[in-house]
Structure 1
Amino acid sequence: MSGTFETRLAELGVTLPDAPVPAANYVPAVRVGNTLYISGQISQNDAGLITGKVGADLTVEEGAAAARTCAISLLAQVKAALDGDLDRLVRAVKLTGFVNSTPDFADQPKVINGCSDFLVEALGDAGRHARSAVSAGALPLNVAVEIEGIFEVK
C-alpha cells in the first residue's frame, strides 16, 4: 500500500527494501499495544555491509551516511510489522544508536544525525524522536553503525 509516508520517500528517491531478516535468534519487531520495538538495524546498502571504525576507517560524514541506511532499514521493518501499511506509523519515539568508533572519537551524535535527519526529512514532525548516541568498541560483523528504534503505531 502506498500512502503519505511512502509518497514522501518516493519524492526523496527512496524505495524501502524488503525488511532485513534477523541474523541470529531474535525477531525483527515486537509490538506491545501501540508501541513497536524494532531490533537493531545494521549499516548496509545494495553493495553490502558498511563496515569499519568511524574515526579511523570512516569519516563523520561516511558514518552519517551509514546511519542513514539504518533509518531506511528501520522504516522497512516498521512497514513489514504493519502488514505493508507504513501510514499506520504514528511517530518515531526513541532511537538508540551505536557507532563503531575509535576510543578517542567523540562525534557519535553527528554520526547518528544521519538517521535522525533522514527520519525527520521523510516523516516530518512524526520523525522527531528522543535519542541516545553511544560509542561501541566493536559491532557485529564490524559494521559502522547499528540503530534500534521504538515507534508509536495504530
Structure 2
Amino acid sequence: MSNPIEDRLSALGLSLPDAPAPAANYVPFVRTGDTLYVSGQISMANGALITGKVGADLSVEEGTAAARACALSLLAQVKAACDGDLTRLKRVVKLVGFVNSPAEFTDQPKVINGASDLMVEVLGDAGRHARSAVSAASLPLGVAVEIEGIFEVA
C-alpha cells in the first residue's frame, strides 16, 4: 500500500534515518492521547554529528542544513512512535529549535527554517506549525542544532 509521506520523501530525494536512541535517562517520545511529544533531535548526517557554532564555525546555510537533518530525525521518531506507519501523522503542532551560536548571532529563525521548510515540503499544510527558534551558548556534544517537536497522530 502506498504511503504518501514516504512517497513525498522519496520524490524529494530524502530518506529517514533510523530513529536515534536516547543518549541518557529519557525516552525518545511520549504519546498522550493524540499528541506525540518527541525529544530533542540533534544535528546528524550520514551517522556523523554536525557540530560547531552557527555564525562562527558554520554559515547560516550550513546551520539550515543541520536543522533539516534534525527534522528528518524528528520524522523518524514519529514513524517509530506510530509503529512504522507515517500515515498516522496528522499534523506538526509545534517545533522548538535551539541553535548553537555566539551571543551576537541573530539569525536563529533562518536556521530553524530548515526544519520548518522540510515539514511543509513533505506534509503540505499539515506541516505548518507554531515554532520557537532560540540561541544556546552550547548544545550537547557540541552539535549545531537541536529541535524538539509536538505532533498530532491518529
TM-score > 0.5, shorter chain as reference: yes
Query: What letter is aligned with 2:12?
Result: L
Q: Does 2:53 align with 1:53?
A: yes
Identical-residue share of aligned pairs (%): 75
Question: Is the Cα contact below 8 Å between 1:2 and 1:85 reproduced in 2?
Answer: no
Flag structure 1 segments of 5+ consecutive residues without an equivalent. none
> Can you list the C-alpha shifts for 1:60-90, whole angstroms capped at 9, x where unaligned?
0000000000000000000000000001000
RMSD between superposed Cα atoms in Å: 0.9
1:2-151 map, 5 Å: 3-151=3-151
Superposed structure 1 runs of 4+ greater than 4 Å apart: none
Query: What letter is aligned with 1:105?
Result: F
Structure-1 separation of matches of 2:56 and 2:65: 16
Structure-2 separation of matches of 1:68 and 1:56: 19
- Give the drift of 1:122: 0.7
Flag structure 2 segments of 5+ consecutive residues without an equivalent. none
Q: TM-score with structure 2 length normalisation?
A: 0.98
Helix, strand or coil: the match of 2:105?
coil
- Give the drift of 1:47: 4.8
Q: How many residues align?
A: 154
